[in-house]
Structure 1
Amino acid sequence: MVLPVIAGVDGSAESLAAAEWAAREAVRRERPLRLVHVWNWHPRQEDGELANAAQRHLARRSLRQAEERVRDACPGVRVYDEQVEGPATPALLDAAERAELLVLGSRGLSGFTGFLVGSVALGVVAKAARPVVLVRAGEEAEDEHLPADDGSASTRTGYRDVVLGLDLGDACDEVIEFAFEAAQSRRARLRVVHAWQPPSAISLGPGDIALVDDPRRGEEWQGFLSAVLQVWRDKYADVEVVECVPKDKPSTALVRAASGAGLLVVGHRLTERPVGPRTGPVTHAAIHHVGCPVAVVPHG
């Protein structure tokens, strides 16, 4: 069974940008594109047949608008649409189960919304068993590509880097493979980032890197990263890989590394948490502060 790329659409600028990005990704992956509108994007509307009819009308309009934009941007994409009933988060989680990946619009840090990426997107990212890509409003095809020689935007140039944020203490195959596949499909360079901080004497345990000088410690982390990536370099021999091991707070290093990137890939461990949906601090920083599309890849 060929799984589609799915984009959630609601008529917002963010979701339209997400739909267009999803169409380009579907073409790269040779997959169909499925546009999904969930009725219950705004659950406070009054009950009754009139409200239901209004929601169906809005759904059709949102889907038609998204489909027109997608077909203009990617005429060759195979696209179909669907209306489903909410609530939105469980409906999109259900859709993600039958998707190659799910693409959603994301506000990030914009205007007075502050740290609100959107409760629906956050809920989906925290619980989805399939990769979720978050796309900002205004994302265009040219943004995935390097600028032309004169500095102007272009789709005729090569792709910008794919950046992978890798925790060497929790290096999961699913996350690494997603990043290598993304780089290969774009013929882009893959930049792998593992940030480290000097341990304190109290935090050191058996098997930890000893309290040596920082240059030596950086070399140790560089060696670990190279060892982890070697099997993937062999498998994806045509992908250029750059390894980075900055001495910095992981979330800070990743946000900095993603500046100018075409795609950021981070992992998210699926765990049962007692109070609501949560993401780790690095994933949290990425989805709120990084301007390029962010792929959150779940793992066990």
Structure 2
Amino acid sequence: MLLGVAGLTPGDWTTVNENVTRAVRKHGFRALQLRVSEPFNPEPALAERVKNAFGAAGLALSQTVGEYGGGLVSADESLRREAVEALKRMTAFTRIIGGTNTYLRPGSMNPRGAWMPHPDNRSDEVFDRLVRSSREAARAAADEGVMLAVEGGAVCPLFSAVRTREFFDAVDSPSMGYNMDPVNYVSDLETAYDSTSLLDDLFDQLGHVTIAAHAKDFAVEEGLLPHFKEAVIGEGLLDQATFLRRMLAVRPDAHIFIEHLPDELVPAARDGLNAAADRAEISWDNPPDCLNL
């Protein structure tokens, strides 16, 4: 497995140059996620510059992520169509840039954001629209020779391991893969205090379709009502060693991206994940030791 990061870049993919990729490599990473705000017809010279920057630093270019919001489940057909077309463009962009998969954001009925809760997110109608949109995008991914990487979470239409498995069964496409992100599913104290059972459920249901992962951690905030917050890896409650062991078993070539942290906290998260790898007796491919590149 390769240790990667979603971060440590000054912005959109167009800002990535050799200075950026070498800095990421010096932090001990061997893969970098590309964020794409505009996937329309990337200039060939720019795409080549970015690919060369990855190669010069010894970084793998695998996952891209687009900025198409949560419209894949919209009841407004024009908004749903717009999101589908944006995701299709991301599949073409991913092929051009030399990536292997592009992230699929399942969306939400909440107009304030794709990862915001809404009472209709768990309805069959919303699930069916997500399946319809994803089938269309999967056909485009197949044509481009890349994969889609969908993830779920408690606030979105793919709110459990079982529901996410139902999604894969319904879409039924070899171009649809799963982006393992266990922290997203934490929704109650029982799960928070027994994250190993959560991990086992997710891997038992979805290990066979897992192609990549996002690494993070979480903590319980003290208070009368249960609240959860993301935490630096190693300072929270997720059983990171089990997470890595199960990932290695199902996808030994996976790229695992640390995400959702400001740049100044990324080194601590990297160290936390490396400590978990040591406990699990796992060695990263091309070990993420800081080099003088």
Q: Which has the higher helix share?
A: 2
Global fold match (TM > 0.5): no
TM-score (norm 1): 0.27
TM-score (norm 2): 0.27
Which is greater in Rg? 1
